[in-house]
C-alpha cells in the first residue's frame, strides 16, 4: 500500500500515460487498418499486393523491433526530435493496424455475396448497397474481434514504457529501481491495466448490444 | 479476380479506371519508398561502410550467438507454454469446482496482463541472475494461458457423442480426455496453436528489456557500440536483424497455414481452426474460433462471434 501512497503522482501520470497512448494509437490503428483493408479488397492489384505485404510484414515483426525502427530509423527519414509519445503511438498503431485490417476484411467477407446481389437486383446503387446492406452487417461481426485487438493494444502499450514513454510499465521499473518490493508494485500495475482493459471490453459489449443485427 | 460483395465484375469503363488507379497506386507507393531511401542515403545510412560491419567475424559471431539465445528462449517457452496450456485446459474443464476456479482465475489474470509486466516482475523478484529463465517463465505463463483457451475451445468442439461413446465403453475420465478429446482438440487447433507459437517467438524480443542477450538486445548493442562514419549503424543493423526475425516468423506462420489447408481436406467432422494469429488475446468465450460462413473461406479471419456457441463454432458436414 505504501508504494502507491508514497508515489501516487507518478502512478497517476503512468496511468494517464497508458490511457492516452492506448487512445491515440487505437485511432491510428483503426484509421490505418480500415484503409489497408480497403486496399486489400480493392479491385486494383498493386494496392492489394501492398496491403498483403503490409499485413504479412507487420504481423511477423516483433513489436519491440518495430519500436526500435520507429525510434531510430523513422526520425532519420522524417525529422529528428519527435517525442517518444508520438513515435510510440505510431509504432503501436502501425503494428495493430495489420490486425484491424484482417478483422475488417474478414468482417466484409462474412457478408454473403447474395445480399449484395439482392441489393443490386432491387436497384440499389453501389453507395446504397454499401451503406444499407453490407457495412452494417460487416460492422457487427467486426466488433468482437476489434474488442480483443484493442485490449491487446493496451497490453502492448507496456513496451512503450521501456522506450521512455511515461506509462505504467515505466512506473513499475521506477519503483523497482527505487528498491520497493516487486510484489505490491506488480499488483498495483496489474490493477491499473485491468481497469483499462475492463473499461474497453465493457464499452465494446455495450456497442455490440446496440448494433446487434439478426442474421 | 473472384466476385466480391463490394463491387461487380468490372465493365470496360471500370477496367480502364482500375488500370489508372493501379498506375497511380504503384507510383505513390514507389515514391514513398524512394523518398524514404533517398532520405536515408542523404544521412549516410546506406553507405557501404555501414553494411560492411556484417563482414566482421566478431559481429557475425554476435548475431549467431544471439540467434541461438533467441531460439533457446523460444524452445523453452514453447515447451513450457504447451505443457502449462494442457494442464490449465484440463483444469478448466475439470469436474471439481475448486480446480476449475483456480485454473480460470490463473488464466484470466495472466492473460489480461501485459506480458512485459509479468516478465519484469519475475526477473526483478525471483530470477534476477537468470534472465533466460525469467523470460522463458514469463512467456510460458502468458502463452500457456492462451494455449489453454485454444485447447479448451478445441475440446469443446469435439462432438459430444464422442465422449459419451467413450464413457459408454467404460473409459475413465482421464482416459476419455487423454485418448479421445485431447488428440482431436490438438489436431483441430494445430494451426492456431502454431500461430500462437509465432506470437511466442516474436515476444522473445521482450528479453532485451531484462538484458537477455537475444537478437534484439544484440542488435541494440551492435548498433550503439560500433561507430561508422561518425554515425551509429542503426538502419543496417535493424534491417539485418529484422530480416532474421521476419524469416523465422514467416517460416512458422506458413507451417500453420499449410497445416490448416491440409486439415481442411480431411473429413473428420471437426473443422480445423483457421491459422489466425491473435493480436495478443484470444477471446474464446466470444467465439473467436467460430468458423464463418462458406463465403469466408480464405478469410481466416478473427471469426464472427455470432455463431460461436460454446466457443467452438463447429461446422458439421
**Reported ipTM:** 0.83
Q: Which residues of B touch A101 (CB under 8 A)?
A: none
Is there a contact between B143 and B298 (Cβ–Cβ < 8 Å)? Answer: no
The per-residue pLDDT for A183 is 85
Task: Name the DSSP class of B180.
Answer: I
pLDDT at A158 over 70: yes
Q: Could you give the CA distance from residue B53 to residue B222 in angstroms, rounded to a whole number?
A: 9
According to DSSP, the residues that pair with B134 across neighbouring strands are none
Tell me whether residue B317 is exposed, middle or buried, using C-beta atoms within 10 angstroms of its C-beta: 0 to 12, 13 to 18, 19 or more. Answer: exposed
Task: Name the DSSP class of A131.
Answer: I
Cell triple for B197: 507459437
The per-residue pLDDT for B282 is 40
Provide the whole-model pTM: 0.83
pLDDT tens for each residue of A20-53? 999 999 999 999 999 999 888 888 888 889 999 9
Task: Name the DSSP class of B273.
Answer: P
B231 three-state secondary structure: strand
The per-residue pLDDT for B266 is 67
Q: Which of B4, B120, B235 sits opposite A73 (nearest CB)?
A: B235
- Long-range contacts (CB closer than 8 Å, 24 or more residues apart) made by B105-108: B106/B145, B107/B145, B107/B148, B107/B149
Query: Is the CB of A130 inside 8 Å of chain B's CB atoms?
Result: yes
pLDDT tens for each residue of A8-21? 888 888 888 889 99
Grid cell 481497469 in the structure block, residue: A195
Grid cell 557501404 in the structure block, residue: B48
Query: Is the CB of B309 inside 8 Å of chain A's CB atoms?
Result: no
pLDDT tens for each residue of A48-96? 899 999 998 998 889 999 998 898 888 888 887 788 889 999 999 999 9
pLDDT at A139 over 70: yes
Those of residues 12-71 in A touching chain B at CB distance below 8 A are: 41-47, 50, 56-57, 59-65, 68-69
Q: Do B303 and A145 touch (CB under 8 A)?
A: yes
Closest to A143 (Cα-Cα) out of B288, B277, B152, B273:
B288
The per-residue pLDDT for A186 is 86
Low-confidence ranges of chain B (pLDDT < 50): 1, 280-317
Cell triple for B61: 559471431
Q: Could you give the CA distance from residue B185 to residue B23 in angstroms, rounded to a whole number?
A: 48
Cell triple for A114: 447474395
Distances from the Cα of A58 to the Cαs of A53, B74, B97, B303, in angstroms? Answer: 8, 20, 42, 20
The per-residue pLDDT for A1 is 60
Grid cell 493496451 in the structure block, residue: A154
Polymer length in residues for chain B: 317
CB pairs under 8 A between A and B: 229
Q: Could you give the CA distance from residue B67 to residue A198 in angstroms, rounded to a whole number?
A: 37
Cell triple for B26: 504503384
Tell me whether residue B51 is exposed, middle or buried, using C-beta atoms within 10 angstroms of its C-beta: 0 to 12, 13 to 18, 19 or more. Answer: middle
According to DSSP, the residues that pair with B231 across neighbouring strands are B228
Q: Taking residues A182-195, what's their average pLDDT?
A: 87
Cell triple for A167: 506509462
Query: Is the CB of B238 inside 8 Å of chain A's CB atoms?
Result: yes
Q: Which residues of A touch B114 (CB under 8 A)?
A: 154-158, 169, 193
Q: Do A76 and B39 touch (CB under 8 A)?
A: yes
Q: Do A155 and B205 touch (CB under 8 A)?
A: no
Cell triple for A189: 500495475
The per-residue pLDDT for A213 is 60
Helix %, strand %, coil % for chain B, to 5?
75, 0, 25
The per-residue pLDDT for B300 is 35
Amino acid at each position: 500500500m505504501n508504494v502507491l501512497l508514497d508515489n501516487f503522482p507518478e502512478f497517476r501520470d503512468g496511468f494517464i500515460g497508458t490511457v492516452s497512448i492506448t487512445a491515440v494509437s487505437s485511432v491510428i490503428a483503426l484509421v490505418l487498418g480500415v484503409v489497408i483493408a480497403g486496399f486489400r479488397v480493392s479491385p486494383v492489384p498493386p494496392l492489394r499486393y501492398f496491403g498483403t505485404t503490409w499485413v504479412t510484414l507487420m504481423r511477423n515483426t516483433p513489436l519491440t523491433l518495430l519500436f526500435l525502427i520507429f525510434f531510430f530509423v523513422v526520425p532519420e527519414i522524417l525529422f529528428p526530435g519527435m517525442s517518444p509519445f508520438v513515435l510510440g503511438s505510431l509504432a503501436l498503431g502501425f503494428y495493430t493496424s495489420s490486425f484491424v485490417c484482417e478483422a475488417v476484411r474478414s468482417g466484409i467477407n462474412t457478408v454473403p455475396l447474395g445480399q449484395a446481389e439482392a441489393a443490386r437486383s432491387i436497384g440499389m446503387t453501389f453507395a446504397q448497397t454499401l451503406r444499407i446492406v453490407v457495412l452494417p452487417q460487416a460492422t457487427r461481426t467486426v466488433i468482437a474481434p476489434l474488442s480483443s485487438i484493442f485490449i491487446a493494444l493496451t497490453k502492448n502499450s507496456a513496451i512503450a514504457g521501456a522506450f521512455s514513454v511515461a506509462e505504467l510499465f515505466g512506473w513499475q521499473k521506477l519503483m523497482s529501481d527505487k528498491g520497493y518490493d516487486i510484489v505490491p508494485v506488480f499488483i498495483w500495475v496489474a490493477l491499473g491495466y485491468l481497469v483499462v482493459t475492463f473499461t474497453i471490453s465493457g464499452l465494446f459489449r455495450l456497442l455490440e448490444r446496440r448494433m446487434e443485427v439478426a442474421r | 479476380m473472384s466476385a466480391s460483395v463490394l463491387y461487380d465484375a468490372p465493365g470496360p469503363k471500370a477496367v480502364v479506371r482500375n488500370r489508372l488507379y493501379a498506375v497511380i497506386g504503384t507510383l505513390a507507393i514507389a515514391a514513398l519508398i524512394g523518398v524514404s531511401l533517398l532520405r536515408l542515403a542523404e544521412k549516410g545510412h546506406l553507405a557501404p561502410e555501414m553494411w560492411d560491419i556484417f563482414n566482421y567475424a566478431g559481429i557475425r559471431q554476435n548475431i549467431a550467438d544471439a540467434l541461438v539465445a533467441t531460439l533457446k528462449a523460444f524452445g523453452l517457452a514453447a515447451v513450457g507454454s504447451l505443457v502449462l496450456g494442457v494442464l490449465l485446459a484440463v483444469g478448466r474443464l475439470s469436474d471439481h469446482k475448486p480446480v476449475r476456479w483456480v485454473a480460470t482465475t490463473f488464466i484470466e489474470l495472466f492473460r489480461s496482463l501485459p506480458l512485459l509486466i509479468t516478465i519484469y516482475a519475475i526477473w526483478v523478484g525471483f530470477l534476477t541472475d537468470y534472465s533466460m529463465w525469467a523470460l522463458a517463465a514469463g512467456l510460458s505463463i502468458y502463452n500457456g494461458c492462451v494455449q489453454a483457451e485454444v485447447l479448451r475451445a478445441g475440446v469443446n468442439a469435439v462432438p459430444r457423442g464422442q465422449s459419451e461413446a467413450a464413457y459408454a465403453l467404460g473409459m475413465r475420465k482421464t482416459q476419455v480426455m487423454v485418448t479421445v478429446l485431447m488428440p482431436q482438440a490438438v489436431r483441430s487447433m494445430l494451426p492456431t496453436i502454431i500461430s500462437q507459437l509465432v506470437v511466442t517467438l516474436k515476444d522473445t524480443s521482450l528479453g532485451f528489456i531484462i538484458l537477455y542477450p537475444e537478437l534484439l538486445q544484440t542488435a541494440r548493442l551492435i548498433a550503439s557500440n560500433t561507430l561508422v562514419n561518425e554515425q551509429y549503424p542503426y538502419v543496417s543493423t535493424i534491417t539485418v536483424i529484422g530480416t532474421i526475425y521476419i524469416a523465422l516468423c514467416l517460416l512458422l506462420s506458413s507451417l500453420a497455414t499449410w497445416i490448416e489447408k491440409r486439415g481442411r481436406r480431411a473429413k473428420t467432422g471437426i473443422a480445423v481452426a483457421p491459422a489466425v494469429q491473435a493480436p495478443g488475446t484470444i477471446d474464446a468465450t466470444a467465439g473467436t474460433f467460430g468458423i464463418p460462413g462458406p463465403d469466408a473461406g480464405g478469410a481466416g479471419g478473427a471469426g464472427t462471434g455470432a455463431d460461436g456457441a460454446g466457443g467452438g463454432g463447429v461446422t458439421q458436414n
